[in-house]
Amino acid sequence: MVSRLRVLLLTEYFYPDEASTGRLLGELFLVIKQRRPAWTVDVVTGRRPYRATNHNPLPRREEWEDIRIRRYRTLRAQSDGFARRAASDLVFSASAALSAALLQYDVLFVVTNPPLMPMVLNLLGSARRPTVYLIHDLYPDVPVALGLWRRESRFTRTLRRLQARSLQRSERVVVLGDGMKDFLVQEYGVPSGKIAVIPNWTTMGLGKPRTAPASDGEFVVLYSGNIGRFQDFHTLLEGAERLRDHSTIRFEIAGDGARAIWLRNEARNRGLSNMVFRPYLRDAEYTQTLRRASLGLITLEPGMEALGVPSKTYNLLAAGLPLIAVLGPESDVARIIATHGVGYRVDHGDAEAFSRSIVEAAADPDRYSEMSLQAIEYVNREATLDVAVERYVEEIERAAMMGRAHVAAPS
């Protein structure tokens, strides 16, 4: 155990942000600091939460639970176009790089929020200490998989070289699933032993196994979160069309994002009265909604399976909600479903299998209750904050010891 350590965390989103990345990192480093009180933790983050509800930026400096937070300006808003988002990423990344150059620390913990930040750090020579590199969004591979960027363009090739350098220079690389680990090994040649797979977690209290699939006579399929480019909503729309005559089956979509207006318009144009929309849900409302829901929807666009593990997966399972997942069989969510029996997986575009799975879940209370039980047991074993903290502390300490070994090695 490394008793004293100075850790610098670079992330665009952190406490008090309630969105996924900021909330998860706040939970993680709060407990790390509690478990390692002799460590000092500094955070460089942005002044605007991901879901900003007003125009007042967060304070530039704050100390929260003995964690020192420095915040820098970002330009980003959820409705921004690509050019403004890229400019915001570069502005924040440059500020983070300056902090990394000036502050004293033993281990740098850098997150791909924004996605370009690790590459900017290496380009400017700011990642001068042992580094733990946590990957949420891998660029340029995500926009290439979505068909937004050409793989062979000069711009994409340049970013891939910078990404490869970031991966090479990091002592430890952390990913959320085995799919991403395999991708890094195959596409970037990262040694398998350098990569740690640490799933996200939920701090929601575990629900009770459900004995019946319907609540108040309704069977609710819930999608909650980002309505963006990463998700396949075509299968959802076509499946909802097939189920329009099932009066007890309803789809509830809670969230916002780049494709929210499009999805609302599509549902209206198709006359989908069985699909309702709500804004992002706050904690108490989210918990109540999970209790009313019957199935939790997870969906990723084709090509995204190796590049992302939706964090909502663990909240849904913790609530005892079986999953209906629209994604390929190689994805980490598909592996969880197949291994632990916590729901259904259907291929992209297979609206018939999608609708059939929902009808089967509604009609078979015995199988439904078993999936609900397995969901809760899976989270209790593998997706708790305690498990994640132990693994992250281990990775930070390994990076620190590797850095010390490099310093001690004869030149």
Q: 30 and 133 share a domain?
A: yes
CA distance 127 to 167: 12
Q: Pairing between strand 67-72 and 107-111?
A: unpaired
Q: 353 and 365 share a domain?
A: yes
The pTM is what? 0.90
In a domain, 189, yes or no: yes
In the chain, the number of structural domains is 2
The CATH number for 366's domain is 3.40.50.2000
Q: 266 and 394 share a domain?
A: no
The Cα-based distances of 244 to 6, 124, 227, 278, 410 in angstroms read: 57, 56, 22, 19, 72
Q: What is the pLDDT of residue 78?
A: 53
Q: 143 and 170 share a domain?
A: yes
Q: 230 and 375 share a domain?
A: yes
Q: What is the pLDDT of residue 76?
A: 59
Q: 279 and 332 share a domain?
A: yes
Q: 188 and 246 share a domain?
A: no
- CA-nearest of 318, 331, 322, 317 to 358 is 322
Q: What is the pLDDT of residue 206?
A: 79
Q: What is the mean pLDDT of each run of 10 residues along the chain (411 residues)?
A: 89 89 95 97 89 73 96 69 73 86 92 88 75 93 90 93 93 95 96 96 84 81 93 97 96 95 98 96 88 95 88 94 95 96 97 98 95 95 93 97 67 49
In a domain, 197, yes or no: yes
Q: 11 and 108 share a domain?
A: yes
Q: 177 and 254 share a domain?
A: no
Q: What is the pLDDT of residue 341?
A: 97
In a domain, 308, yes or no: yes
Q: 188 and 287 share a domain?
A: no
Q: What is the pLDDT of residue 98?
A: 86
Q: 136 and 265 share a domain?
A: no
CA distance 289 to 223: 11
CA distance 94 to 102: 12
In a domain, 213, yes or no: no
CB of 396 closer than 8 Å to CB of 104: no
Range of the domain at 259: 219-383
In a domain, 206, yes or no: no
In a domain, 207, yes or no: no
Q: What is the pLDDT of residue 279?
A: 93
Q: What is the pLDDT of residue 35?
A: 96
- CA-nearest of 357, 315, 323 to 339 is 323
Report the first-to-last Cα separation within the chain, whole angstroms.
Answer: 27
In a domain, 208, yes or no: no
In a domain, 211, yes or no: no
CA distance 357 to 350: 11
The Cα-based distances of 243 to 180, 234, 239, 248, 352 in angstroms read: 35, 14, 6, 10, 10
Q: 395 and 287 share a domain?
A: no
CA distance 125 to 162: 12
